[in-house]
Structure 1
């Protein structure tokens, strides 16, 4: 992992654990045992760092949805793959933890543009697959997207809480991830699909 990537990982976990507003550049530098000036060698500001974290996630999400869209499988299976990814919290997917905590902490306004980019990507996926959506729902794509996005975030936060670990730093984040890995995500995906998606799919 490069120094730049290390800064992004550490900052992401601290942003999620303590809030974006409450996390200072000094906090990030101290965890990394580097001088504050060392941070500025890589990023001009906390805002630039946050935007890069968000942009990286948008790119990854776009690539994933394109891959899913190109697969020769049913629309139902594609949706289940998307739900599975949104609930697959692992050590290398710390951005997912950040997005959930931004929602929980009421800090969405700080990243609104980047959130909209992510939601636009999913909206486009749904629009491209309108033929699989029941007629009465075809003009409700944005509403469907909002319901699914919010519901998945709430479910993810619920599952994180089930681990019983309060994340304050990277060590506790790893502990939470270890306990999260014992959860039956496939069961959660099936439940979510049956509750929120099955009724609108042809």
Structure 2
């Protein structure tokens, strides 16, 4: 892992654990054992760092949805794959943890607002598969996207709570992820699909 990537990982977990506003550049530098000036060698500000973290997430999601869209499998299976990705919390998926905590804490700032405005990837995916959605819902794609995103984030936060581990740093994040891995995600996917997705499909 490069130093730049190490900074992003550490910052992401600290942002999620302690809040973006409460996390100072000094906090990130201290955890990494580097001088504050070392941080500025890689990033001009906390806002630039946060923007890169979010941009990386957009790129990753876009690539994933393109791969899913190209698969020769039923549409409902594609939706389940998307749900699985949104509920799969691994050590290297700390961005997902950050976005869930931002949602939970209501910690919205201009950087995150801008990210959400550009978060049209899933809407595009649904629009590209309109023939699989019941006609009465086709004019409500953006509303559906918002409802599904909120519901999945709420479920993810609930499952994180079920681990019983409060994340305050990278070590506790790792412990939480290890405990999270014991959850039956397949069961959660089926439940979510049956409750929120099945009724809107042809």
Task: Settle same-fold status: TM greater than 0.5.
Answer: yes
Aligned equivalents of 1:116, 1:74: Cα separation in 2: 29
Write out the 4+ residue segments of structure 1 that deviate beyond 4 Å after TM superposition.
Answer: none
Matches within 5 A, 1:179-198: 179-198=179-198
Moved more, 107-116 or 150-159: 107-116
Shift of 1:112: 1.1
Aligned equivalents of 1:35, 1:138: Cα separation in 2: 53
Aligned equivalents of 2:44, 2:80: Cα separation in 1: 40
Pair 1:22 & 2:49 matched: no
Gaps of 5+ in 1: none
Question: 1:139 corresponds to which residue?
Answer: 139
Shift of 1:116: 2.7
Question: 2:148 corresponds to which residue?
Answer: 148
Give a deviation string over 1:64-85, Cα, whole Å, max 9, x none: 0000000000000000000000
3-state SS, counterpart of residue 44 of structure 1:
coil
Pair 1:113 & 2:114 matched: yes
TM-score (norm 2): 0.98
Question: 2:37 corresponds to which residue?
Answer: 37
Question: 2:161 corresponds to which residue?
Answer: 161
Aligned equivalents of 2:23, 2:194: Cα separation in 1: 39
3-state SS, counterpart of residue 109 of structure 2:
helix
Question: 2:100 corresponds to which residue?
Answer: 100
TM-score (norm 1): 0.98
Gaps of 5+ in 2: none
Question: 2:125 corresponds to which residue?
Answer: 125
Aligned equivalents of 1:158, 1:116: Cα separation in 2: 26
Shift of 1:121: 0.5
Question: 2:12 corresponds to which residue?
Answer: 12
Shift of 1:113: 1.1
Aligned equivalents of 1:117, 1:171: Cα separation in 2: 32
Question: 1:79 corresponds to which residue?
Answer: 79
Give a deviation string over 1:105-152, Cα, whole Å, max 9, x none: 11133401112322x000000000000000110101011001000000
RMSD of the TM alignment (CA)? 0.6
